[in-house]
A and B are shown apart, each in its own frame.
Chain A
């Protein structure tokens, strides 16, 4: 049977559906692809990578068989480089900048990055060693890409770092939020271990603001890094949201990454509301759980959706249907309080609003009903308002405000990653969170050095 005809989804072996979709390159494929790289000088792909990985160098090292060196080049620029190899929108970043776009076809940078980091994972390599201690302490709130990245760089610079993590396991959305078939947990855990091996302490199941107060942290650490990401999906604000069968997309994905997969979605009709990363992940997860029909409802059109083209293609290949200009107005339950249908309204696009996207407006009298068994909400993420308030930080609608040097309104508190991600800026990315984490480390170090000179 040809690969393309091979059933993508199994209804009997759900576990298989959640294994990594893209097979890695074989050793030979990797070497052939690596040898295709021109090894440009001052290469545009490096500029296009938010973490500035020296891409030609790591590729050259694959070609020469120096896989450890290759992984080191990647991970030194990007502490979550193994995850990024899988989840970065490479067409928009490095691969989009490859000079071969003009002549043949771009180098498969993401796949090569995955190949090199896989080698390091499989060979249980520890790539870095902590720097000589400078006696300073840093508390980091959140162990997602931003927090881990800041921790790694700070530990290399000699700081004693403690990460406070609310969840059971470290890694943030890489561990819990990005679907297993694109990013298995094991990859995220390896990156966490790399950071831990630098004597970084990670206190899991410890929520700042609940298990330990902001004040306590401020009193006991020289610097604080707020890298708590964003929170759950907001309410739709329509009737029926409390019904059984209505899910928060992030929680929903998390369950597929942490719990035994169940058959409860097999043969079901699902709608997902929203059209970003999270919506695509919610929809493709539903397909992989065996849903009969999955529709994405979005109140604008394909042009405005924030999901990337490759995600859109991926979802379509999974058989996900897209219903544009569709606004849910009411979720309807049966006598047992379970979802049975969703009422929607057709929309049309008006004038562009502040973020440049055209504003959707309802078309009167176009109400229609879709019978459904589950509704997955994926219309963005709320903010950790109370945490931000505890630190008393300047913020706009829950987006922590920072200076160019990542300093919040409290000079000893820095912030990076999704906590500072502004609205209407497209999709947040792991790779930007990682770079911001690095920048925070350098900013702290700069401040420390400045202070020690004047002291």
Chain B
């Protein structure tokens, strides 16, 4: 049994699985149910000045019959009175002293507003604070959420105000609705953040009804952009986490969020630098019980690899994530089709023929049976054929030995400028 205990900037939990600030953490009843089911922590549904919600709030995107591949919402922060939330936070923390209870906060960008709310939530015994600079709808129009989260100066300043008052660790939750998330992450660090979390939801419109021409979802015939999350956003979130993890100035712990649906996703985020993870959509799709498999699957994975403590994997894959300019131009892989496994759907052929490099031939053997073959000399190793192939093991991408030593674009440029006589053409 591996040690799964987690520490994000001093906020401790028995395992790395926290519920993200969202409907699952709306009340004490829910958070306590979640802890009973095994969740290690919860970031309470964002607290702030009372708001009004609309009905018809969510929409989901199905992909080829798979429900909730992506999830979209136009819900705002909590619509319950602050006192009620505070009372329930207090009770929850009392019942579950070893679980992480983090308060998510969002107020107007004014120093005294931040000071006041920090004081009030810390009084009831939260383990930490998460500043919601990420909500992309509703609150942004009022200068909060992603509106302040998109401006590095505002992120820095508000973080600083919070740090002036806070006794507990401060996590800054970042919006992905920005070109370079490291710029706001850096700003949070400059403001004194103890950790950053990402991502909040991505601006989205889930769909349009083909008959009524209403947006999906719509509120009495009108729609507005919402925030996108769920499995579809995982690659975007993972990249943002990894970008922050490898950034020299962002040296605070990261809480990874975005599309995490099972223990494997969690491992990926942690390998790419997250100290813990947060989950919303997967819990909304299936209920709190999914955490059982998350914990057990993670534990079995670590045991299987002989890793005693979860902390050992945090960031372990970050050194492998770099920039295009550092990739070896002389590394070469080619596709190889295993005809004994191939079912002759010819999808690889047409993908390569129409949209890649025309190097998979459709042939017939002596007895008239069809087979496919890659002309290796023309294959650029793009992976497309193996991606469209529906059968495991029918196409392998195999490494072939290069005639040239490894050389990246950056090295090539450096060599070229430092030595004009050097032949810059080994890759061709």
By a beta-carbon cutoff of 8 Å, the part of chain A in contact with chain B is 26-28, 35, 39, 41, 57, 60-61, 63-66, 68-69, 72
Contact of B289 among A57, A63, A64 (CB under 8 A): A57
Instruction: Return chain B residues, CB-CB under 8 Å to A27.
Output: 392
In the complex formed, the residue of A with least CB distance to B297 is A66
Instruction: Return chain B residues, CB-CB under 8 Å to A35.
Output: 66
Contact of A57 among B263, B293, B304, B392 (CB under 8 A): B293
Instruction: Return chain B residues, CB-CB under 8 Å to A39.
Output: 286
Does residue B319 face the partner (Cβ distance < 8 Å to A)? Answer: no
Give the shortest distance, in Å, between A59 (CB) and chain B (any CB): 10
For the residues of A in contact with B, the DSSP-based class is helix
Instruction: Return chain B residues, CB-CB under 8 Å to A60.
Output: 286, 290, 293
In the complex formed, the residue of A with least CB distance to B392 is A28
Does residue B376 face the partner (Cβ distance < 8 Å to A)? Answer: no
Instruction: Return chain A residues, CB-CB under 8 Å to B153.
Output: none
Q: How far is the CA of A358 from the CA of B200 in the complex (A)?
A: 69
Q: Which of B263, B289, B293, B304 has the most CB of A within 10 A?
A: B293
Contact B289 A66 (CB under 8 A): no
Q: How far is the CA of A67 from the CA of B97 in the complex (A)?
A: 33
Contact of B297 among A26, A28, A41, A69 (CB under 8 A): A69
In the complex formed, the residue of A with least CB distance to B295 is A69
For the residues of B in contact with A, the DSSP-based class is helix
Contact B292 A57 (CB under 8 A): yes
Q: How far is the CA of A68 from the CA of B300 in the complex (A)?
A: 7
> Known contacts being A57-B293, A60-B293, A64-B264, is A69 close to B300, with CB within 8 Å?
yes
Q: How far is the CA of A72 from the CA of B297 in the complex (A)?
A: 11
Contact B300 A64 (CB under 8 A): no
In the complex formed, the residue of A with least CB distance to B390 is A28
Does residue B296 face the partner (Cβ distance < 8 Å to A)? Answer: yes
In the complex formed, the residue of B with least CB distance to A41 is B287
Contact with A along B290-321 (1 / 0, CB 8 A): 10110011001100100000000000000000
Contact A66 B296 (CB under 8 A): yes
7 tightest A-B CB contacts, nearest first: A66-B297, A64-B262, A69-B296, A68-B300, A61-B293, A28-B392, A64-B297
Contact A66 B263 (CB under 8 A): yes
Instruction: Return chain A residues, CB-CB under 8 Å to B391.
Output: 28
Contact with A along B243-267 (1 / 0, CB 8 A): 0000000000000000000111000
Q: Given A60-B290, A64-B293, A66-B296, 7 other A-B contacts at CB below 8 A? A: A35-B66, A41-B289, A61-B293, A64-B264, A65-B297, A66-B297, A69-B297
Q: How far is the CA of A260 from the CA of B80 in the complex (A)?
A: 75
Contact of B293 among A26, A41, A66 (CB under 8 A): A66
Q: How far is the CA of A41 from the CA of B288 in the complex (A)?
A: 11
Instruction: Return chain B residues, CB-CB under 8 Å to A28.
Output: 391-392
Instruction: Return chain B residues, CB-CB under 8 Å to A26.
Output: 392
In the complex formed, the residue of A with least CB distance to B285 is A39
Instruction: Return chain A residues, CB-CB under 8 Å to B292.
Output: 57
Q: How far is the CA of A273 from the CA of B120 in the complex (A)?
A: 82
Q: How far is the CA of A69 from the CA of B293 in the complex (A)?
A: 7
Give the shortest distance, in Å, between B396 (CB) and chain A (any CB): 16
Instruction: Return chain B residues, CB-CB under 8 Å to A41.
Output: 287, 289
Contact of A65 among B264, B287, B289, B392 (CB under 8 A): B264
Give the shortest distance, in Å, between B222 (CB) and chain A (any CB): 33
Q: How far is the CA of A66 from the CA of B265 in the complex (A)?
A: 13
Instruction: Return chain B residues, CB-CB under 8 Å to A64.
Output: 262-264, 293, 297
Instruction: Return chain A residues, CB-CB under 8 Å to B289.
Output: 41, 57
Give the shortest distance, in Å, between A298 (CB) and chain B (any CB): 44
Give the shortest distance, in Å, between A40 (CB) and chain B (any CB): 10
Contact A66 B66 (CB under 8 A): no
Instruction: Return chain A residues, CB-CB under 8 Å to B286.
Output: 39, 60
Instruction: Return chain A residues, CB-CB under 8 Å to B296.
Output: 61, 66, 69, 72
Q: How far is the CA of A66 from the CA of B301 in the complex (A)?
A: 8
Instruction: Return chain A residues, CB-CB under 8 Å to B263.
Output: 64, 66
Contact of B300 among A57, A63, A66 (CB under 8 A): A66
Q: How far is the CA of A57 from the CA of B286 in the complex (A)?
A: 11
Contact A61 B392 (CB under 8 A): no
Instruction: Return chain A residues, CB-CB under 8 Å to B264.
Output: 64-65
Q: How far is the CA of A72 from the CA of B296 in the complex (A)?
A: 10
Q: Which of A35, A61, A63, A64 has the most CB of B within 10 A?
A: A64
Some 6 contacts from A to B, beta carbons below 8 A apart, are A57-B289, A57-B292, A57-B293, A61-B293, A61-B297, A64-B262
In the complex formed, the residue of A with least CB distance to B290 is A60
Give the shortest distance, in Å, between B37 (CB) and chain A (any CB): 12
Q: How far is the CA of A64 from the CA of B291 in the complex (A)?
A: 12
Contact with A along B364-395 (1 / 0, CB 8 A): 00000000000000000000000000011000
Instruction: Return chain B residues, CB-CB under 8 Å to A66.
Output: 263, 293, 296-297, 300-301
In the complex formed, the residue of B with least CB distance to A68 is B300
Instruction: Return chain B residues, CB-CB under 8 Å to A57.
Output: 289, 292-293
Give the shortest distance, in Å, between A424 (CB) and chain B (any CB): 41
Q: How far is the CA of A39 from the CA of B68 in the complex (A)?
A: 14
Instruction: Return chain A residues, CB-CB under 8 Å to B262.
Output: 63-65
Q: How far is the CA of A26 from the CA of B343 in the complex (A)?
A: 15
In the complex formed, the residue of B with least CB distance to A63 is B262
Q: How far is the CA of A57 from the CA of B292 in the complex (A)?
A: 9
Q: State which residues 86-136 of B face A: CB under 8 Å.
A: none
In the complex formed, the residue of B with least CB distance to A72 is B296
Instruction: Return chain B residues, CB-CB under 8 Å to A65.
Output: 262, 264, 297
Q: How far is the CA of A35 from the CA of B285 in the complex (A)?
A: 14
Q: How far is the CA of A39 from the CA of B392 in the complex (A)?
A: 25
Q: How far is the CA of A68 from the CA of B293 in the complex (A)?
A: 11
Give the shortest distance, in Å, between A237 (CB) and chain B (any CB): 56
Give the shortest distance, in Å, between A414 (CB) and chain B (any CB): 32
Q: How far is the CA of A66 from the CA of B294 in the complex (A)?
A: 9
Q: How far is the CA of A367 from the CA of B301 in the complex (A)?
A: 68
Q: How far is the CA of A28 from the CA of B66 in the complex (A)?
A: 16
Q: How far is the CA of A35 from the CA of B262 in the complex (A)?
A: 13
Q: How far is the CA of A28 from the CA of B389 in the complex (A)?
A: 13
In the complex formed, the residue of A with least CB distance to B66 is A35
Contact with A along B391-408 (1 / 0, CB 8 A): 110000000000000000
Q: Which of A60, A64, A66 has the most CB of B within 10 A?
A: A66
In the complex formed, the residue of A with least CB distance to B286 is A39
In the complex formed, the residue of B with least CB distance to A65 is B264
Instruction: Return chain A residues, CB-CB under 8 Å to B66.
Output: 35
Give the shortest distance, in Å, between A262 (CB) and chain B (any CB): 36
In the complex formed, the residue of B with least CB distance to A123 is B304
Give the shortest distance, in Å, between A194 (CB) and chain B (any CB): 17
Q: How far is the CA of A423 from the CA of B301 in the complex (A)?
A: 49
Give the shortest distance, in Å, between B290 (CB) and chain A (any CB): 7
Give the shortest distance, in Å, between B2 (CB) and chain A (any CB): 13
Give the shortest distance, in Å, between A80 (CB) and chain B (any CB): 22
Give the shortest distance, in Å, between B265 (CB) and chain A (any CB): 9
Give the shortest distance, in Å, between A75 (CB) and chain B (any CB): 14
Q: State which residues 188-215 of B face A: CB under 8 Å.
A: none
Q: How far is the CA of A64 from the CA of B263 in the complex (A)?
A: 7
In the complex formed, the residue of A with least CB distance to B299 is A69
Q: How far is the CA of A41 from the CA of B283 in the complex (A)?
A: 13
Q: How far is the CA of A68 from the CA of B299 in the complex (A)?
A: 11
Q: How far is the CA of A239 from the CA of B211 in the complex (A)?
A: 79
Give the shortest distance, in Å, between B261 (CB) and chain A (any CB): 8
